[in-house]
Structure 1
Amino acid sequence: MQKFSIGPLSLPGEKGLFLIAGPCLVESRQMAMEVAAELDRIRKEEEVPVIFKGSYRKANRSSASSYTGIGDREALEILAEIREGFGMPVLTDVHEASEVELAASYVDVLQIPAFLCRQTDLIVAAASTGLAVNIKKGQFLAPQDMAYAAEKAASTGNRKIMLTERGTTFGYHNLVVDYRGLPIMADSGWPVVFDVTHSVQLPGAGAGVSGGDRRFLMPLARAAVATGVDGLFFEVHPDPATAMSDASTQAPLGEFAAMVRELMQLQRCMQSIREEFHSR
């Protein structure tokens, strides 16, 4: 497994899981700081590496009337403030090669959205910055094909690459998770993340917005941990019902610490079981 550093973090973590967590969208400084403060508390209490995530702009919208953000530079400056103030690496997504230079000057990780995982110019531009790159698997793509996306990034000499599962299209307005995809993607040699939030999404099912069912966040996350994933991706909001995007699928901030605690305990349990069987 390829290992690398992102700021103060070494990934994959020696003690197990790492988290990519934060709001879907930077809606305001106050909201982003509230989430960052709680994630900072959780990472210290649970001793779990955390990468703060937040989109500075949402380009993949179901409807032209959907909210897209507070302004690129304003949102990016908030992300940079979180990075400096809390000492957490920060991730945001980019949608076109022309966006990469600006975003890269504020964050530590550039994320390639699932819909764009075959866009060679975008992947190469992101990887050429030298920052870590998280490539989400398209809902339409076989897990073994993600090795080709990783090869595009690695062709720049960048070895800081992560691959993220986020569900596969299952008919209209639905997704299904095939957990075989996690070890298949791991065969590529890159760390694998499971995007819990978007795997419970119902794309476009909400009359112009994406729906979802957060009841399934923990069942899917537990299965990913048991499968042996390296990291978990959660979108978290202080009041998901009022979120400007992905309101149906973001985890409530007030419940997130308990969720992380349970998943870390499960990871330690699974690690002990694996070590016991390997020692026989």
Structure 2
Amino acid sequence: MRKPLIAIAAAALLLGLAACGTAKAPDTTPAGNEKAADALATVTDPVLGDLVVDDEGYVLYRFDADASEPPKSNCSGECAVKWPPSPAVDAAKLTGIDPAILGSFTREDGSKQAMLSNYLLYRFAGDSAPGQTNGQGVGGKWWAVKPDGKRAGKAPAANGPLKTIDDPRLGTIVVDSEGFVLYRHKGDTDDPMASTCNGECAAAWPPVGEISTDASGVKARITSFKRADGTVQSSLDCWPLYRFAKDTKPGEVTGHGGANGTFFAVTPDGKFANGGKPL
């Protein structure tokens, strides 16, 4: 599965912060290794090039929703079942990787997770055999890791512009460049722009990264802000935007009224579709 990664546009970010405010990142402190668990090595994939694998030969990935300065994981609960954290590794158990970029991070459950260049490493449960890369590009946020800790594969392009569709029940609503319906969260704020959807919430409702401001049929201003985890999220009329992980095809609106009536599809002027009421 390969989807373009959402690129960060600095000019739009600065404009958004000036107009709507920003949120501060929490202070997290990574800890050193406790007990070394696995080894890390490299393999050469015919498409992606050199990749990092664990001691069983399974490809490791990094998550764009994680933060690196300071390190912070935003994959827990069901997310961590699908993307198991890779245990901390002793520097003596590296092959083809510079020990200087190796680190470890203490997760909320007390376990130690391996890092390369301050990015946390994960397996993908969908890889059923060593060397598989089924996790590459999943959700536009998961990427196989190169030996220097960077994302593998071609540099991602900027995400395309927003569009609108006519839903028979909700009227005109906003979708992303791939046609997936976008949502707002009642718990968020617009001034300053801030999201209250983190951790397991963000896994179920993935924040929309930086997008083109050249939208078709969208009346409200598109801007962006920095989330508490250090990543960038786009907003419409200063309200943070999300996809819903259970929408499996373009135009599907299964998230409207979801999470106990707190998430709703969005109209072109940035308001809740159907007046913020479930169907």
TM-score bin (small chain): under 0.3
The structure that is helix-richer by fraction is 1
Structure 2 length-normalised TM: 0.24
The structure that is strand-richer by fraction is 2
